[in-house]
Amino acid sequence: MSPEQTTARTISLRGGEILVALLLIAVSILAYIETYNFVAESGMVKTLGPAIFPRILLGGIVILSLGIIVQAVRSKGTDTVSFGPLHKIPLATCVMLFQALTFEHLTAFVSAGLTLPTLLWIAGNKPKTIIVVTASFLLFVYVFFILILRVPLPMQFLPTILG
């Protein structure tokens, strides 16, 4: 591996962040409008409906995109971001492809439980951070879908975990 491939790459934060953030805001607004077409099925919590989770995510994307715009405007072009070694990009791509291909067979919970810590490890996070983030994510999914929305776990979930 050449020295260029192992050293961290840095770029200015003002490159295209504002444009990407504006694009994310536009796509989020369009997707939010599409959630008005979601119909609550029988057995679902009708007060919240099936559109509540996408709306929360889309609202979060808009808020974080606005934060990116503010950060890019406030920076003087001196801030940089490091992408790390280039071999991590194809490795992360393979992990995400694994999740996409095994999503239906392993169920969403197991697939996310495998790929999330793997991606955090590839990104260079410490084991304690990996455990806390993964456990928090799975707990959030459980509380939001099982307890709040009362959507039962798929029947494939238990046999996958129990063997």
pTM: 0.50
- DSSP line for 51-117: THHHHHHHHHHHHHHHHHHHHHHHS-S--EEE---TTHHHHHHHHHHHHHHHHHHHHHHHHHHHHHH
pLDDT digits (tens, 9 = 90+) for 78-88: 556 565 677 78
Name the residue type at position 77.
G
Q: Which has the higher per-residue pLDDT, 22 or 35?
A: 22
